[in-house]
Amino acid sequence: MSFKLDIEKFADKAIKDSEEVMRGAIFEVFRSVIIQSPVGDSSLWQSEYKPKNYVGGRFRNNWNTEIGMPDLSANRSPDKGGAQAINDLMIGVAGFGIGDTIYLSNNVPYARRLEEGSSTQRPSGWIKNTVKGFNRDIEEKARKLKK
């Protein structure tokens, strides 16, 4: 094998390894945001108005994962487990490659208020603090890959 082919093979492996590390870290951080998303529980509401047949989980299930530009839709049905959001995450991360920009967005009207601490279930800044762990996750994935 020529030196040029050796370098190309090394570069291809480095790119694939980098993508694997990034996909794993992105998945864990985005999944954590989805899973930590507060789910409406009318028994915790301070308001006396509690709608009949209320189902929580609209915020959690409306996280969108998209490559290239954010998906600003917010039309999924409530789901306390966030199944569609997690499925969307798996599809989005699988398509991620080095050089891509991947977005996690939630466009329900009260999303910002939840990040600012309007829910008793999560402190103010919980999304920002989860994302701060991103570098730690990348470093951990890279260490595992070296083994």
| pLDDT for the residue 117 | 92
CB 130 within 8 A of CB 29: yes
For residue 1, what pLDDT band results from cuts at 50, 70 and 90? low
Other CB atoms within a 10 A radius of the CB of residue 133 amount to 14
Other CB atoms within a 10 A radius of the CB of residue 110 amount to 14
CB 99 within 8 A of CB 67: no
Summarised one tens digit per residue, pLDDT across range 49-93 is 777 888 899 999 999 999 999 999 999 999 999 999 999 999 999
Structure-token pair, residue 131: 């994302």
Identity of the residue numbered 32 = S
CB 61 within 8 A of CB 33: no
| pLDDT for the residue 84 | 97
Total-model pTM: 0.83
User: What's the rounded mean pLDDT across residues 113-126?
Assistant: 91
Q: How far is CA 118 from CA 69, 105, 125, in A?
A: 28, 18, 11
Summarised one tens digit per residue, pLDDT across range 9-55 is 888 888 888 888 889 889 999 999 999 999 988 877 777 777 788 88
Task: List all residues 6 or more positions away from 93 whose beta carbon is below 8 Å from its beta carbon.
Answer: 23, 26, 27, 30, 65, 102
